[in-house]
C-alpha cells in the first residue's frame, strides 16, 4: 500500500486574492459594519453614498452624482448605501436594486450602471442587467429614469 501525501495546502487565504479583491473584501466588511450600526437609516446611507461619490474623480464623480440625484428623485423608496465602495440603492429589505461602478475601478473606458436580481426588469427570457456609461445626456437620463421606475414597480 502506498502512503498518500498528507501535506495540507499551506498557502494563506490572503495570498489567494488580488490586491483589488482584498480591497473589495475590506470595503464590504466596513459597509456591513456601517449598515448594522446605522440600522438602515436613510440619513446615514445618504451620508455614506455622498462620501463615496466625493472620492471619485472627474467623469466618474459627475456620473455618480447625477445618478444619485436621478435615483433619489424617481425612486425615493430605495435606500442609498454603498456596495463594494460604490453607490448603490436597496429596497426596504436591504437588497440591492441598482448600483454604480466607476470606470476607474477596473481601468475601463466606461462606468457601469447595473441592476441586481431583485430589480423587476424581467422582459421575456433575456433582458439587460447592466449598462455602460460614458456620460449622461438627457437621453440617457430619461432611459435611466424609466429603468429605475420599472425596477421598483
Give the SS3 label for residue 45: helix
Sequence-separated (6 or more) residues with CB below 8 Å from residue 140: 133
Q: Which range of residues forms the domain containing residue 128?
A: 18-151
Number of domains in the chain: 1
In a domain, 29, yes or no: yes
Q: pTM value?
A: 0.77
For residue 67, name the pLDDT band (cuts at 50, 70, 90): very high
The CATH code of the domain that includes 48 is 3.90.1150.200
On whether residue 3 sits in a domain, the answer given is no
In tens, the pLDDT along 100-132 reads: 999 999 999 999 999 999 999 999 999 999 999
Q: Is 62 helix (H, G, I), strand (E, B) or coil?
A: helix
- Residue 10 belongs to some domain of the structure: no
Contact 75, 152 (CB under 8 A): yes
Radius of gyration of the chain (CA): 19
8 located within any domain: no
Q: In angstroms, how far is CA 112 from the centroid of its own chain?
A: 9
DSSP assigned state of 140: H
Whose CA is closest to 88, among 32, 17, 139, 13? 32
- Whether 7 is in a domain gets the answer no
Do the domain assignments include residue 13? no
- CA torsion sign for 113, 116, 119, 120 is positive
Spatial separation of the C-alpha atoms in residues 22 and 77, rounded to whole Å: 32
Give the whole-number percent of the chain exceeding pLDDT 90: 68
Q: What is the pLDDT of residues 29-47, one digit of tens each?
A: 877 776 665 445 788 899 9
Amino acid at each position: 500500500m502506498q502512503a498518500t501525501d498528507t501535506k495540507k495546502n499551506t498557502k494563506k487565504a490572503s495570498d489567494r486574492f488580488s490586491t483589488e479583491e482584498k480591497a473589495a473584501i475590506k470595503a464590504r466588511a466596513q459597509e456591513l459594519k456601517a449598515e448594522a450600526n446605522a440600522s438602515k437609516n436613510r440619513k446615514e446611507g445618504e451620508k455614506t453614498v455622498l462620501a463615496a461619490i466625493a472620492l471619485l474623480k472627474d467623469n466618474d464623480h459627475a456620473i455618480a452624482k447625477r445618478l444619485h440625484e436621478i435615483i433619489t428623485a424617481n425612486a425615493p423608496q430605495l435606500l442609498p448605501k454603498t456596495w463594494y465602495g460604490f453607490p448603490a440603492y436597496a429596497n426596504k429589505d436591504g437588497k440591492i436594486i441598482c448600483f454604480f461602478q466607476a470606470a476607474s475601478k477596473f481601468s475601463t473606458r466606461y462606468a457601469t450602471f447595473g441592476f441586481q436580481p431583485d430589480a423587476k426588469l424581467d422582459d421575456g427570457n433575456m433582458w439587460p442587467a447592466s449598462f455602460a456609461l460614458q456620460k449622461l445626456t438627457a437621453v440617457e437620463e430619461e432611459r435611466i429614469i424609466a429603468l429605475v421606475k420599472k425596477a421598483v414597480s
